[in-house]
Amino acid sequence: MCAQGAPPRSLRDVSLLYDLDAWVLWAVWLLAIPVGGYAFVHALLQRADAFTAVDKLTKPAWLGITGASVLVLVVFQGGPGSSGALFWLAALVAVLVYIVDVKPAVVRVQGGGQRW
């Protein structure tokens, strides 16, 4: 018996803990692809003048950023565990910046808002 507590019941329990981070990163990678696709389609469907009205980058710039991000998220399969982890992380951050910062401002300036 260890002084810190009971030992693990089996090696399977220990293996699960070692693999937990890999499963979490895999789930984040799997969720990042549709979120990136949503950001690209949302940017595609918005008016071009709405982006400049809220002092954000232009519509073609955001289409390029979100489109390239989706491409990187798809190409570097395996997410943060792959060889292109830095590119994958930059793509995820770019998509999240659009979703959290640009999208609400563009929707607000076009007269949209909370519909529930």
| pTM assigned to the model | 0.78
How many other β-carbons are positioned within 10 Å of the β-carbon of residue 73? 23
Task: Give the amino acid at 55.
Answer: D
Helix, strand, coil percentages (3-state) for the chain, rounded to 5, are 75, 0, 25
Q: pLDDT digits over 2-48, tens only? A: 556 655 566 566 677 777 877 888 888 889 999 999 999 999 999 99
* Residue 94 in tokens: 């770019």
> Residues near 88 by Cβ (< 8 Å), separated by ≥ 6?
29, 72, 73, 76, 79, 80, 82
* Residue 17 in tokens: 């803990």
